[in-house]
Amino acid sequence: MQILIGLIVGAVIGLGIHYQLGGRSRRGVVVGPMVGAAAAGVVWSILTWAGVGVDSPWLWLSAPVAAVAVTYPTLIILSRVRTAHDARERVRLRIG
């Protein structure tokens, strides 16, 4: 049941990163929190299955670190890809 705490922390971190980075209009507002929650949830599950208990600080530190380490590059790459795609579409459609 404690995995919910990890998921919520990951989602909050993802939301914070979404608003911290530029290019918010190029991606959905839910992408950041979902990526953060997924990263934190996967790490939490792996460590739990590996036998790391809830009383271990590694479990509580690794989930937020994983959320940050995965969400930053994912959102940056998604914004760049979307910007390039939109530029190609404008050229193809001969728009402004």
Helix axis angle, 3-20 relative to 57-93, nearest 10°? 40
Asked if residue 96 has pLDDT above 80, the reply is no
Asked if residue 1 has pLDDT above 90, the reply is no
SS3 55: coil
Distance (Å, whole) CA 38 – CA 16: 15
- Length of the chain in residues, anyone? 96
Q: How many CB atoms lie within 10 A of CB 8?
A: 14
Over residues 9-60, the pLDDT tens digits come to 999 999 999 999 988 888 889 999 999 999 999 999 999 999 999 999 999 9
Distance (Å, whole) CA 93 – CA 72: 32
Over residues 49-62, the pLDDT tens digits come to 999 999 999 999 99
| Averaged pLDDT of the chain | 94
Q: Where are the domains of the chain?
A: 3-93
Query: What is residue 57's predicted lDDT score, i.e. its pLDDT?
Result: 94
